[in-house]
Amino acid sequence: MAKYKNEKRIKKLIHRSGYRGFKEVDLILGGFAKTHARELNVDEFTQFEELLEEKDHDIYDWITGTQEVPEEFDTPLFAKLCSFTPDILK
C-alpha cells in the first residue's frame, strides 16, 4: 500500500501527537509520529489520526497494558506504537 504523502496533514499529525498535555503520552505519540508519520500508509495514517481522538490517559493505559486495548485500536500499527521507545529513554 502507498505511503501517505500529504505533507501539511503529516505536519499537523506530528504537532497534535506531541502537544497533548500529558507529558508521557506527548513523548510516546510525538516521538512515534516524528519517526514514523512519513512511512505510514493511508490506512495506518487514518488509524493514527483516529487514535489521537481518544483520551490521553486511555491511550497511556492501553500502551502500558493497564487497560485492554479496544478492538478498533488493536492493530499492527498500535503494536508498533507500543514497541516504540522515545529517544529520551534510549
Q: Name the residue ranges covered by the structural domains of the chain.
A: 7-83
* DSSP letter, residue 70: P
At 55, phi and psi to the nearest 5? -70, 140
> pLDDT tens digits, residue range 64-79?
999 999 999 999 999 9
At 39, phi and psi to the nearest 5? -95, -15
Please name the residues in contact with 40: beta carbons below 8 A apart, sequence gap of 6 or more.
Answer: 3, 4, 48, 77
| Assigned CATH for 7-83 | 1.10.150.250
> Could you give the CA distance from residue 12 to residue 49 in angstroms, rounded to a whole number?
10
Per-residue pLDDT at 29: 97
> pLDDT tens digits, residue range 21-66?
999 999 999 999 999 999 999 999 999 999 999 999 999 999 999 9
